[in-house]
Amino acid sequence: MSAGGAEAKEAPKYTKKDFESDQDVRWCPGCGDYAILSAVQKTMPDLGIPKEDIVFISGIGCSSRFPYYMNTYGFHTIHGRAPAVATGLRLARPDLKVFIVTGDGDGLSIGGNHMLHVLRRNVNVTILLFNNRIYGLTKGQYSPTSELGKVTKSTPLGSADRPVNPLAFALGCGATFVARTVDRNIAHMEEMLRRAAHHKGAAFVEILQNCNVYNDLAWNVMYDKEQKLQYELRLEPGKPLLFGPQDDRRAVIMDGVRPKVVKAKDVAASALWVHDETNVNAAKLLADLFAPDFPVPIGVLAAVTGPVYEEIMLDQEQKAISERGPGDIAKLLTSGDTWRIS
């Protein structure tokens, strides 16, 4: 049993079809979840992992129905607890490739605590957080990522609580891989899924997802052709932070210790901010950028290595066994202070 991942066995040549389960997909027509499902199914063959070694764990929500549609092992658990279930699973079975599928409510409200701990422990799991800025399954209450003043059934006069930023949260928890992608950007989503799945440790991917029924076009800044052109900032390692239309390229640079948007032609090449995924401090600044004052970064904000919880735990176990042999209950029972009565 290797503590690292599931790469040991040779996987057959799969196609997307091999990962489609026989269950009818029950999301609303037009829901962004369809595109994510399709992208995940499509990238699975690239992982090179036998499908019996793959497990999808989810909580509760529209997004959390996901495992039913994957022809892998799957467990649709309870609201918010998927990270804890996955932690136990990894500890029991470090040979499995484990995905967590969660929503903005599931992962950041009821399960916020578990999300914090799975990230800080750096459990080797790939976390896909479908952020539609709404509670879809319970029919449209505002969520912890909804903007301040959000009018929903439960907040007729507008919500009074400020949203949490999933990327900043993840980085604050010590996540070793943090990325953002968009349900309508298929190619980018597939690339992010591949990157995240190959990361060793907890990989956190925020997927901006459209709930066309309760929060349509919440991410219009990434859907509308014109706005997308203006605001999308593609993060690529070694490349400067440049965005906007060709005739109006802009750059994000550091002005002292503050990010600032300037016209690209006004900046010397040496003053550009060049993206470095291993710089977690920079990632924390990037995480907070958003339209309209800043561009919207998509891509891998941070990817660093860190000690993996279950590897440490299992190393301790291996060491104990190799030094002193496997446990022997008969010996343990008679160890220490005993006395004989005849």
In the Cβ-directed half-sphere of 199, how many Cα atoms lie within 13 Å? 34
Out of 41, 72, 122, 132, the residue judged to bind Mg ion by CB under 5 A: 132
Q: Which is nearer to ligand TPP, 42 or 79 (CB)?
A: 79
Place of tokens 């990522």: 145
Choices 81-89, 183-191, 232-240, 295-303; region in contact with other proteins by CB under 8 A = 81-89
102 touches 130 (CB < 8 A): yes
- CB 259, min distance to other proteins, A: 33
Residues 239-268 that bind ligand TPP (CB under 6 A): none
Interior CA angle at 261 toward 256 and 264, to 5°? Answer: 110
Choose among 76, 257, 286, 313: nearest CA to 165: 286
Nearer to ligand SF4 by Cβ, of 38 and 132: the residue is 132
Stretch that binds Mg ion, among 84-92, 98-106, 165-173, 198-206 (CB under 5 A): 98-106
CB of 135 to ligand SF4, least distance (A): 9
The CA distance from 121 to 116, in Å, is: 9
Secondary structure (DSSP) of 111-160 = THHHHHHHHHHT-S-EEEEEE-SEETTTTSEE-TTSPTT--BTTBTT---
| Tokens 């343990």 sit on residue | 332
Which residue from 41, 43, 58, 63 is in contact with ligand TPP, where contact means CB under 6 A? 63
Candidates 37-45, 143-151, 159-167, 312-320: pick the segment binding other proteins (CB under 8 A): 312-320
When asked if residue 15 is in the footprint of other proteins (CB under 8 A), the reply is: no
Per CB under 8 A, does 73 bind other proteins? yes
Sole binder of ligand TPP in the list 143, 152, 159, 210 (CB under 6 A): 143
Q: Total number of residues binding ligand TPP (CB under 6 A)?
A: 17
Q: Give, as ranges, the residues between 117 and 146 that touch other proteins (CB under 8 A).
A: 117
Q: Which of ligand TPP, ligand SF4, Mg ion, none has residue 60 at its interface (CB below 5 to 8 Å by kind)?
A: ligand TPP
In whole angstroms, the minimum distance from the beta carbon of 129 to other proteins comes to 18
- For the bound state, the minimum distance from the C-beta of residue 214 to ligand SF4, rounded and expressed in Å, comes to 5
Q: What are the backbone angles phi and psi of residue 305, rounded to the nearest 5°?
A: -100, 150
Cβ nearer to ligand TPP, comparing 67 with 94:
67
Residue 337: burial class (beta carbons within 10 Å; 0-12, 13-18, 19+): exposed
From residue 202, how far is each of 46, 192, 219, 307 by CA, in Å?
Answer: 19, 14, 26, 10
Name the β-bridge partners of 60. Answer: none
Which residues, other chains included, contact 274 with Cβ-Cβ below 8 Å and sequence gap of 6+? Answer: 238, 239, 240, 241
- Under 8 Å CB-to-CB from 258, ≥6 apart: which residues? none
In this chain, which of 246, 268, 269, 334 binds other proteins, going by CB under 8 A?
Answer: 334
Q: With binding defined as CB under 6 A, does residue 132 bind ligand TPP? A: yes
**Beta-bridge partners for 215:** 211
Interface contacts to ligand TPP, rule CB under 6 A: 60-63, 79, 103-106, 130, 132, 134-138, 143
Interface contacts to other proteins, rule CB under 8 A: 21, 23, 50-53, 55, 57, 60, 67-68, 70-78, 81, 83-93, 95-96, 113-114, 116-117, 313-314, 316-317, 320-321, 324-330, 332-334, 336-342
